[in-house]
Amino acid sequence: MLDGKRILLIIGGGVAAYKSLDLARRLMERGASVRGVLTPAGQQFITPMSVASLTGDECYTELFSLKDEAEMGHIRLSREADLVVIAPATADLMAKMANGLANDLASTILLATDKQVLIAPAMNAEMWAHKATQRNIETLKRDGILMVGPGDGMLACGEVGPGRLAEVPDMVAAIEDYFSGGIRPLTGKHIVVTAGPTHEPIDPVRYIANRSSGKQGFEIAGALAELGAKVSLVAGPVSLNTPAGVSRIDVETAVEMESAVQNALPADAAICVAAVADWRMKTGSNGEKLKKSKDGIPALDLTENPDILKGLSGMKSGRPALVVGFAAETEKVIEHATAKRERKGCDMIVANDVSAATGIMGGDSNQVHIISDKGVESWPTMGKDDVAKALAKTIAAVLTD
């Protein structure tokens, strides 16, 4: 959504400055280019080197720079951007902006820019509540400055209250909202996504699992959030970063996953990507590790796990309007997946061939077939991120039809 957008990121002197590095990364992941400006106070918290290394561009710090100002750097920086973001916006920077002060590079850029400015304030709760700060905010709002946050909670100074820098996904969402005019097809929709494997304990050290990496489900959750959906991602044990704008609920077993999904409802759609283990141990091992014994190999007494997809599809009331399942097959992919759609009662099945030769399980690309009441649509091999984007668009089309 941010393809080709140029963002000038001004980083003020607050403890939360380190979070601006993550913000820069997330924006770049979404196709934006980021150019950093660090105030002198900002440099007490993070270095120009870390900003420059991350953004792949120079990090600007000086107003009176012989090198940059030979070509009026502050004017150029303020114009060669599609959006100016200040994160964290200190009380000091906001005061300067509200009063038109321009006595360093950041404040001069802010006075010289003809571009929209978005601020993410962060400060101590008393500083935030101070009449001067509140007066400045009113002025900035009247001047058309956009604002995200601050949040409420534990502050770096140890106090609790308003003044916390907005979370990175919320800053990303605010920036995306600016560029899309606030209109995204899944805005207002809640979607539950399951991803990853489940682990079914045999004893305290062993478990039954499968090879799911969770990559495809995480990509789908992120792509849905990018289209504006509120996404609850119920994740089995995987080591993946939570996509921007997604609320994650970590679980281990199928029973936990089912209960987390039920707790996350109501939802407009449920996308069941997780490879849930079919069976679990009928009875636990009483917390004891199973020992090798001369009596032979222990028999694993298994019982069936809840069928989360079938349960959601068959809900008598409160059923999500769209229930999507995934079918990982190793032969007769379309035939087996079509039968699975009927058996489970879901609206759509995304089928893929996970036989070892395809490298799909754990890999970065996927080739899927979309099976619905409209028939079968086979997509070419794509990166899992592109499959996710295409699927998110398909889901948006169904939900907004």
Ligand X SMILES: Cc1cc2nc3c(=O)[nH]c(=O)nc-3n(C[C@H](O)[C@H](O)[C@H](O)COP(=O)(O)O)c2cc1C
Give the nearest distance from C-beta 102 to ligand X in angstroms: 12
**Please, what is the Cα angle at 208 between 312 and 326, to 5 degrees?**
35
Residues 6+ apart with CB under 8 A from 126: 159
Residues 6+ apart with CB under 8 A from 43: 13, 61
The span of 27-35, 37-45, 213-221, 340-348 binding ligand X (CB under 6 A) equals 37-45
> Which residue lies nearer to ligand X by CB, 91 or 276?
91
> Which residue lies nearer to ligand X by CB, 165 or 174?
165
Contact flag: residue 90 with ligand X (CB under 6 A) = yes
Task: Single out the residue of 7, 37, 97, 123 in contact with ligand X (rule: CB under 6 A).
Answer: 123
Count helices and strands (H / E) in the chain.
14, 22
Helical ranges in 210-327 per DSSP H: 215-226, 254-264, 308-313
Contact flag: residue 13 with ligand X (CB under 6 A) = yes
Amino acid identity at 364: D
The span of 38-46, 59-67, 211-219, 316-324 binding ligand X (CB under 6 A) equals 38-46
Bridge pairing between strands 151-154 and 160-164: antiparallel
Contact flag: residue 93 with ligand X (CB under 6 A) = yes
> Which residue lies nearer to ligand X by CB, 44 or 381?
44
Using DSSP's 3-state secondary structure scheme, residue 314 falls into coil
Task: Single out the residue of 2, 7, 8, 12 in contact with ligand X (rule: CB under 6 A).
Answer: 12
The span of 7-15, 284-292, 317-325, 357-365 binding ligand X (CB under 6 A) equals 7-15
Contact flag: residue 14 with ligand X (CB under 6 A) = yes
The span of 72-80, 85-93, 275-283, 360-368 binding ligand X (CB under 6 A) equals 85-93
Residue 157 designated active-site: yes
Contact flag: residue 73 with ligand X (CB under 6 A) = no
Cα torsion angle, 161, 162, 163, 169, sign: positive
Contact flag: residue 41 with ligand X (CB under 6 A) = yes
Cα torsion angle, 182, 184, 185, 186, sign: negative
Q: Give yes or no for a contact between 379 and 368, defined as CB atoms under 8 angstroms apart.
A: yes
Kindly write down the DSSP assignment for every residue of 37-61, as one continuous string: EE-TTGGGTS-HHHHHHHHTSPEE-
Using DSSP's 3-state secondary structure scheme, residue 177 falls into helix
The span of 8-16, 53-61, 76-84, 333-341 binding ligand X (CB under 6 A) equals 8-16
Contact flag: residue 133 with ligand X (CB under 6 A) = no
As beta bridge partners, residue 193 has: 233, 271
As beta bridge partners, residue 118 has: 85, 146
Contact flag: residue 214 with ligand X (CB under 6 A) = no
> Which residue lies nearer to ligand X by CB, 42 or 243?
42
Task: Single out the residue of 20, 33, 39, 253 in contact with ligand X (rule: CB under 6 A).
Answer: 39
> Which residue lies nearer to ligand X by CB, 23 or 123?
123
| Nearest in space to 207 (alpha carbons), one of 273, 277, 274 | 277
Contact flag: residue 231 with ligand X (CB under 6 A) = no
Using DSSP's 3-state secondary structure scheme, residue 139 falls into helix
Contact flag: residue 92 with ligand X (CB under 6 A) = yes
> Which of the residues are catalytic?
157
Q: Binding residues for ligand X, per CB under 6 A?
A: 12-16, 39, 41-42, 90-93, 122-123, 127
